[in-house]
Amino acid sequence: MPRLLSSSLIAIAAAFALTACNEPKDTHPGQPVTKRKAVFKQMVRTLEPMGMVARDRKEYERQEFLANAQELKQLATQPWVYFTPDSDYPPTRAKPEVWQKPAEFKQAQEKLQSAANLLAKAAESGNLETIRPAVNEVQKSCKSCHDQFRSSGP
């Protein structure tokens, strides 16, 4: 069974890699889509190890976790400036609702920033019982925003 799972994951990764090859290049001035995607990718790379710790799949290293939480707090403020009115073009995955419902989009941003701030405070405590729900809140915030404002594919 593990071999089948491993093979399946490799096939899925290959499919995603091929899909990315067909993705249009961001040739617009300032490349806002490319810049916001880079911030979001860094957010994922920063959040993933914390999620692993929260689910007991990775050993808790206090300093590493704290550094990731502080980085995520900073990153949570960064991608929003790249959602300019002229940045609704391929390769964006942003739904039209980003621009049609700016107040709701702003609330989603604030929810993420608040959750990231709480996670950073929880990380300072070093208490895993405080940290786990804080990681969950960040992940729920991400999912909620994706559900409302991000399309599932290119």
The dihedral through the CA atoms of 88, 93, 96, 102 has a sign that is negative
In this predicted structure, the answer to whether residue 33 has a pLDDT above a threshold of 90 is yes
Out of 19-23, 53-57, 121-125, which region has the weakest mean confidence (pLDDT)? 19-23
In this predicted structure, the answer to whether residue 99 has a pLDDT above a threshold of 80 is yes
pLDDT of residue 22: 63
How many domains is the chain partitioned into structurally? 1
Q: Is residue 4 part of a domain?
A: no
pTM, to two decimals: 0.82
Q: Is residue 142 part of a domain?
A: yes
Which domain, by its residues, includes 106? 29-149
Local confidence band at 18 (pLDDT 50, 70, 90 cut-offs): very low
Q: Is residue 14 part of a domain?
A: no
Q: Is residue 48 part of a domain?
A: yes
Q: Is residue 9 part of a domain?
A: no
In this predicted structure, the answer to whether residue 154 has a pLDDT above a threshold of 60 is no
pLDDT of residue 3: 45
Q: Is residue 87 part of a domain?
A: yes
Is 21 within any annotated ligand binding site? no
Q: Is residue 145 part of a domain?
A: yes
> CA 147, CA 5: separation in Å to the nearest integer?
27
In CATH, what number is assigned to the domain containing residue 126? Answer: 1.20.120.10
Is 146 within any annotated ligand binding site? yes
